[in-house]
Amino acid sequence: MIGYGRQYIDDQDIQAVCDVLNSTNLTQGAEVELFENAICDYTGAKYAVVVSSGTAALHLAAASISNEFERLICPAISFVASANISQYLGKDIVFADVSSNSPHISLDHVDHLARSSDVRNVVVVNHMAGMPCDMEHLSRIANKLDLTVIEDAAHALGASYVNGGKVGNCAFSRLTIFSFHPVKSITTGEGGCITTNDEQLYRRLVRLRSHGITKLNDEFLNQSESVTNSRNNQWYYEMRELGFNYRLTDIQSALGRSQLKKLDSFIKWRQDISDHYDNEFDRAGIDRWVNHAKSSANHLYILKTEFDHDKMTRVNLIDSLRADGVGAQVHYIPINMHPYYVSKGFDVKDTPNALTYYRTCLSIPIFYKLEPDQQSTVIRSIRRHISFE
């Protein structure tokens, strides 16, 4: 079965992990900082904080600025983690529709939602499928309406903005998050990262990652307990606020650092697959939801198909593809369609473009080392079952 995505692990990755396993520190050692520095070097951000998952990254990003907003504006089309951070923090949430011709958040709707209320808003904007949103446009809206921006770049490590800067450099946002789940651009098994250019946010993120305890060179508040004869007591630490255990291990960090060295090759391979698919599907008259530019990380390749319940349902199509050895998936069910959010009064009818997208989308295989013969299998199967050739 050719799945829609998978990780690639080579001997260098395995050796990097083995080196840590044979070392003294399996966690909270040097590999974590080395990985963070490598992410900064790649993205151009000043600071990076690696954590245990992409969801943890979203949670800490929002928690670090929790005193700056009352309401989260979230795209209706995203993984549920993008919305759930509002619930973790006890914040209000409103869902923004997507554009009529793409699964990217509608910036016009973001503008409308931000203007429609006097509360302070933060918007989570996701670079769906690995293709960056128009961040320059969003930045203008944010500056005009005092809107704080968090980039959910779980799909977009390795992508670039229109101006050539790497996604994650935080030129257009307060914080950016990445995911290192196995199907993403690089993997640490599970893992994530937050980048920022704000030193105070960075320091708070480091504390929040580890129980809210003082890290780096934070000055202690309780001087009578922390200092003896003008020297800091070696054993002493302080919990400043309620934090979490969202640490990434040295084992995972070593794997991530090894993977990061191959990222550009990973992205190039995905781009070649995307170009190949485009050429073949254009000739067959098969539409797509995302037109990937050279700046995309090409995390997903999403077909756009009008399913006819009398001829071909999505279930029938997925079953037919599977019979040919081709896996497919749906990214995503609108968040405001899930029972949890429906129970809170949300209705997917309020985001009609998101519902249309959901009814017509299908993700097909794209990943590093998807070989030409496998690509041909995918193309033949899709053309046969969608174009009825």
pLDDT band at 388 (very low <50, low <70, confident <90, very high): very low
Please report, for the domain that includes residue 300, its CATH number: 3.90.1150.10
On whether both 108 and 249 belong to a single domain, the answer is: yes
Tens of pLDDT, residue by residue over 156-202, are 999 999 999 999 999 999 999 999 999 999 999 999 999 999 999 99
Domain of 127, CATH number, reads 3.40.640.10
Does any domain span residue 4?
A: no
Based on the domain organization, do 47 and 157 belong to the same domain? yes
Q: Are residues 48 and 170 in the same domain?
A: yes
Residue 6 located in a structural domain:
no
- The verdict on 39 and 140 lying in the same domain is yes
Examine the domain organization and report whether 238 and 295 are in the same domain. Answer: no
From 260, 277, 298, give the residue that closes a domain. Answer: 260
Share of the chain above pLDDT 90, in %: 95
Q: What is the mean pLDDT of the chain?
A: 96
Q: Is residue 350 part of a domain?
A: yes
- Is there a domain that residue 289 lies in? yes
Q: Which of 240, 260, 280 is the last residue of a domain?
A: 260
Note whether 241 and 286 are same-domain residues.
Answer: no
Q: pLDDT tens digits, residue range 233-270?
A: 999 999 999 999 999 999 999 999 999 999 999 999 99
Residues 124 and 28 grouped into a single domain: yes
> 151 and 53 in one domain?
yes
- Condensed to tens digits (0 to 9), the pLDDT of residues 325-382 reads 999 999 999 999 999 999 999 999 999 999 999 999 999 999 999 999 999 999 999 9
Q: Which domain holds residue 354?
A: 263-386
> Of 204, 236, 260, which residue constitutes the final position of a domain?
260
pLDDT confidence tier of residue 44, bands split at 50, 70 and 90: very high
| Domain membership flag for residue 54 | yes
Asked, for residue 254, whether it belongs to a domain, the answer is yes
234 with 287, same domain: the answer is no
Average of pLDDT values for 47-61?
A: 98
Q: Specify if 3 maps to a domain.
A: no
Count the domains in the chain.
2
Instruction: Quote the tokens at residue 290.
Output: 């995302």
Domain-located, residue 2: no
